[in-house]
Amino acid sequence: MNKSKGLILITFISFIAIYSISGCIDQTNDNVNDFGGEEFSFQGLDGLNKNLSDYRGKIVILDMWATWCSPCGYQMLELEKVYHYYGKEIIEIISIDIDQGETIKMVQDYIDEFQKNGINLDWIFGMDVEEIWEKYKISGGIPTLYIFDENGKIHYNHEGVSVFSEIPSGWPQNTVVLKEKIDELI
Amino acid sequence: MRKSIVKMLIGIFFIFGLYLLIINNVIAYSDPTIDVDPVEPEQLSTLTITITFDDYDDIQEVFLLYNECTKNDICFTRQNKSMTNLGDGKLELNINLEHDDAAYIQYWVEFKTNEGWQAFPEEPPYPKTYLKEKQTNGGSNGNNNDTPGFELIGMMISIISILIFVHLKKR
């Protein structure tokens, strides 16, 4: 009897000890802030460093792309619809050029080309300087898109082209519709 | 007096015109030709891209940039590789395709001249070569009467070997 009581006591003390010690282990994650939101840095087209946390309080779409990716160009048209539908008070789009061989000038020229055709890509563009691509790529293809909620937590991600609200005729019926995903957060 | 002023003005205009011609004389490189062999490569195979420059003398370095894209509009990260100089303005690069779901490969050239780096084409859209789906040996007769898959033959050899070994052991 005494033996079993001793065993129970030891087990109980062990659980307490393990629980206490685990509370002292550093569980910080460089990618997550105190509220569990994601964090990354990028270089804006003005050359200044910016962070995902600068946009807390808004839904953020991270769009990973490059100038040589033609599907990414189509994605820009759909993101333009998203941006102008919801407005910058509710949503922010951060389009990050993941090709570290490309330059700010190339990105600016890309934006200017769209503008010549009457399409304003007037959200945030930036360059990947701290391996955003390494952290967030899915299977290595672009465009790849993430939707973060207002606290910076990942709500949705997708690799491939997605559309704003209507699937064009002839496209697969399982094409991702961004409005459905964004409305889940509003 | 007037005649000499007129002559002087003509001379000045002539010299100025000559000066403008000289400073605006930019070397324009003709577009290189790009050949792909085979014309319709398979996924995961090796293809050779050959670039030919008509006026190669001033070209110092040539890189081929390329990437594979799927039919679902996903493009994989681009590669950037130096080409092998074959002489006479011809450069070549062998590419090993890496993605079993790629539908096409797109490519463009960056080359360094005395005037700096240039690209061909200068901007998208880039030339594409569409890929055939890779033919696989299904490992069985399937729908035709071709020879069985290699793994089936290997299994049969193993079974026969074991039977022979067991038979010899019994003896």
Q: What's the pLDDT tens digit per position in B33-85?
A: 999 999 999 999 999 999 999 877 888 889 999 999 998 889 999 999 999 99
In a domain, A19, yes or no: no
User: Which of A101, A109, A142 minimises the CB distance to B75?
Assistant: A142
In a domain, A6, yes or no: no
Residue in chain B nearest A109 by alpha carbon: B123
C-alpha dist (Å) from residue B155 to A41, A144, B138: 55, 44, 15
Our count of domains for chain A comes to 1
Query: Does the pLDDT value for residue B143 go beyond 50?
Result: no
Which pLDDT score, from 0 to 100, does residue B142 have? 46
What pTM was computed for the model?
0.73
Residues of A in contact with B124 (CB under 8 A): 67-68, 70, 73
In a domain, A3, yes or no: no
A99 vs B78: CB contact, 8 Å cut-off? yes
Residues of A in contact with B67 (CB under 8 A): 68-69
Which structure tokens are listed for A158?
């997708």
Query: Does the pLDDT value for residue A77 go beyond 80?
Result: yes
In angstroms, rounded to a whole number, what is the distance separating the alpha carbons of residues B41 and B166? 48
B125 vs A70: CB contact, 8 Å cut-off? yes
In a domain, A16, yes or no: no
Structural domains for chain B = 33-130 (2.60.40.1930)
Query: Does the pLDDT value for residue A27 go beyond 70?
Result: no
B74–chain A nearest CA distance, Å: 5
For the domain that residue A166 is a member of, what is the CATH number? Answer: 3.40.30.10
B155–chain A nearest CA distance, Å: 35
- pLDDT single digits (tens) B74-87: 999 999 999 999 98
A63, A64, A68, A133, best to mutate vs chain B, most B CBs in 10 Å: A68
In a domain, A15, yes or no: no
B51–chain A nearest CA distance, Å: 20
Residue in chain A nearest B76 by alpha carbon: A141
Reported ipTM: 0.75
In a domain, A96, yes or no: yes
Which pLDDT score, from 0 to 100, does residue A55 have? 96
In angstroms, rounded to a whole number, what is the distance separating the alpha carbons of residues B109 and B83? 10
Q: Which of A74, A94, A83, A55 minimizes the C-alpha distance to A143?
A: A74
- Ramachandran category for residue B73: left, alpha or beta (phi over 0 → left; psi -120 to 50 → alpha): left
Helical residues (DSSP H) of chain B, grouped into ranges: 2-23, 150-170
B108 vs A68: CB contact, 8 Å cut-off? yes
In angstroms, rounded to a whole number, what is the distance separating the alpha carbons of residues B78 and B98? 12
Which pLDDT score, from 0 to 100, does residue A26 have? 42
Under the banding of pLDDT at 50, 70 and 90, the label for residue A21 is low
Write the DSSP symbol of residue A53. Answer: G
Residue B74 CB partners (closer than 8 Å, separation 6+): A71, A141, A142, A143, A159, A160
- pLDDT single digits (tens) A130-155: 789 999 999 999 999 999 999 999 99
Under the banding of pLDDT at 50, 70 and 90, the label for residue B138 is low
Average pLDDT of chain B to the nearest whole number? 83
B72 vs A160: CB contact, 8 Å cut-off? yes
- Give the domain extent around A178: 32-183
In a domain, A88, yes or no: yes
In angstroms, rounded to a whole number, what is the distance separating the alpha carbons of residues B148 and B171? 33
In a domain, A168, yes or no: yes
